[in-house]
């Protein structure tokens, strides 16, 4: 088999759902670093659950290489045929992708696992390059149990699984992990992203540009989280220019919303409110994106609350945000919104609204405990302690029986 005869990048086309997700940036940087710096035989296990995403990642990897090979196991009836083709390569490429193990029937699947385990030394001797096995979760599990010697040889095991409820947005749940990092880890991620983008700035394919834009977005969000607003604005604007070149108006609106929030954080509330109400909100309404519309309305409510327009802010939280998140089943967004409603109610009338505020806060705390979100738990506990004047433990004990019946959780 000649390398010139095998699948080229254009045969595995990047599609809308194939862009690198921010949640996978760490694994991606590991993979790219290994490919670029290691020589000789290496076995890498990559777990995935979405074909389009897998194929998009393969295309992005291959665009960095001068030679590669994609071995589709669909074209082989047995492990022996696969091995024979592997040994008959006229020259060894920089990288070999092995895909579609699930195409084998049960007997040949078991034969493949035994073969890769028993023949690992021969393969390593004759094929001195990196082999990436793209596997579903069940096959990773089987490989670890039924090919233990080969498994022990693995260089890396990387997880590129996507949430089962993936939709067309690239950032649906990706910031949950990032937002709960400590400041040191956030700075470390910022540095990793900068190093990666700097070393891959020559890749100008649309898919690579989109992935770079996503990573810039993540980097800017991290800068915002650690309070470095000047750096955040600079990086957000870099990402914005990339998505303008790609004519991606949807993502442009998301970035402009983040820039508006920075204006708000820096005291430019009037300008921030104008951008949100006149530019960003109408776009998401036209796109019929109910979640992004609700998020944008929440940003507007933040500003209205800061300006003392509590009735308007509360109306948005209770009637335009919370019902949307409840309909979508987004339990974290529901809990956050309940905490925000409690905050407004407390500002309006801490005496008459005290019981309502407690109810909202305890409900939010229960969710954050179940989701193991320590920062959010701490915020709620501090708020409750402020309300009760130090009798937090007594308060939580009292309300635990009401809110934690279905799934008791120890309140610490």
List the chain domain ranges: 3-159, 330-412
- Between CA 230 and CA 32 the distance in angstroms is 30
- Between CA 160 and CA 158 the distance in angstroms is 7
- Between CA 50 and CA 88 the distance in angstroms is 31
pLDDT at 220: 92
The architecture of the domain spanning 3-159 is 3-Layer(aba) Sandwich (3.40)
What would the two tokens of residue 329 be? Answer: 């089943």
- Are the beta carbons of 364 and 380 closer than 8 angstroms? yes
What would the two tokens of residue 360 be? Answer: 């909202």
Cβ neighbours, 10 Å, residue 238: 17
Ranges of H-type helices in 246-353: 249-265, 269-275, 281-286, 290-306, 310-316, 322-328, 331-348
- Between CA 32 and CA 44 the distance in angstroms is 12
pLDDT at 56: 87
pLDDT at 155: 86
For residues 295-329, one letter each, b for 16 or more C-beta atoms within 10 angstroms of the residue's C-beta and e for the rest, the string is: bbbbbbbbbbbeeeebeebbebbbeebbebbeeee
- Are the beta carbons of 115 and 149 closer than 8 angstroms? no
> Which residues neighbour 264 within 8 Å (Cβ) at sequence distance 6 or greater?
272, 273, 299, 302, 303, 306
Beta strand residue intervals within 16-129, DSSP E = 42-47, 69-72, 95-99
pTM: 0.53
- Are the beta carbons of 387 and 346 closer than 8 angstroms? yes
pLDDT at 180: 59
At 132 the three-state DSSP class reads: strand
- Are the beta carbons of 58 and 97 closer than 8 angstroms? yes
pLDDT in tens, the chain (412 residues): 333 333 333 333 333 456 777 778 778 888 888 888 878 889 999 998 888 888 889 988 998 888 999 999 989 999 999 999 888 888 889 899 999 998 888 889 999 999 999 998 999 888 889 999 999 888 888 898 889 989 988 888 999 987 654 333 444 344 445 555 677 888 888 888 888 878 776 666 666 778 888 889 889 988 988 889 999 999 999 999 998 888 888 888 899 999 999 998 888 989 999 999 999 999 888 877 888 899 999 999 999 998 899 999 999 999 999 999 888 878 889 999 999 999 999 999 999 999 999 999 999 998 888 888 887 888 898 888 888 775 444 444 444 433 333 333 333 3
N residues, the chain:
412
Rounded to 5 degrees, what are φ and ψ at 76? Answer: -120, 140
- Between CA 388 and CA 374 the distance in angstroms is 21
How far, in Å, are 36, 64, 189, 243, 265 from residue 205 at the CA level? 19, 11, 24, 13, 35
Greatest alpha-carbon pair distance for the chain in Å reads 82
Element (H, E) at 57: helix 51-62
pLDDT at 299: 93
């Amino acid at each position: 088999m000649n390398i010139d005869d095998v699948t080229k990048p254009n045969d595995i086309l990047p599609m809308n759902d194939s862009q690198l997700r921010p949640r996978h940036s760490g694994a991606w940087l590991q993979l790219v670093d290994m490919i670029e710096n290691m020589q000789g035989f290496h076995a890498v296990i990559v777990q995935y659950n979405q074909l389009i995403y897998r194929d998009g990642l393969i295309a992005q990897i291959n665009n960095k290489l001068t030679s590669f090979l994609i071995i589709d196991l669909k074209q082989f009836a047995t492990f022996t045929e696969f091995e024979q083709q592997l040994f008959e390569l006229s020259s060894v490429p920089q990288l070999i992708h092995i895909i579609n193990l699930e195409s084998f029937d049960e007997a040949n699947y078991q034969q493949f696992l035994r073969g890769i385990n028993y023949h690992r030394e021969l393969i390593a001797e004759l094929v001195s390059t990196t082999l990436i096995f793209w596997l579903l979760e069940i096959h990773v599990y089987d490989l670890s149990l039924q090919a233990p010697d080969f498994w022990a040889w693995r260089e890396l095991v990387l997880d590129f699984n996507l949430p089962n409820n993936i939709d067309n947005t690239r950032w649906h749940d990706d910031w949950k992990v990032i937002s709960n990092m400590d400041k040191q880890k956030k700075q470390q991620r910022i540095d990793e992203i900068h190093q990666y983008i700097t070393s891959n700035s020559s890749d100008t394919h649309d898919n690579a540009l989109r992935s770079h834009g996503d990573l810039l977005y993540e980097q800017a969000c991290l800068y915002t989280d650690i309070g470095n607003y000047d750096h955040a604005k600079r990086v957000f604007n870099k990402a914005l220019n990339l998505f303008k070149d790609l004519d991606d108006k949807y993502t442009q609106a998301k970035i402009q919303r983040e820039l508006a929030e920075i204006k708000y954080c820096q005291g430019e509330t009037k300008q921030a409110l104008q951008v949100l109400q006149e530019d960003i909100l109408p776009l998401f309404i036209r796109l019929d994106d109910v979640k992004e519309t609700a998020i944008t309305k929440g940003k507007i409510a933040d500003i209205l609350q800061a300006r003392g327009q509590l009735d308007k802010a509360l109306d948005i939280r209770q009637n335009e945000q919370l019902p949307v998140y409840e309909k979508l089943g987004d339990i974290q967004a529901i809990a956050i919104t309940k905490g925000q409603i409690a905050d407004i109610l407390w500002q309006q009338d801490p005496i008459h609204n005290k019981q309502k505020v407690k109810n909202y806060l305890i409900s939010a705390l229960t969710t954050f405990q179940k989701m193991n979100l320590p920062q959010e738990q701490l915020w709620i506990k501090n708020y409750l302690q402020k309300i009760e004047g130090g009798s937090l433990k007594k308060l939580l004990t009292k309300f635990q029986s009401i809110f934690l019946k279905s799934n008791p959780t120890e309140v610490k």
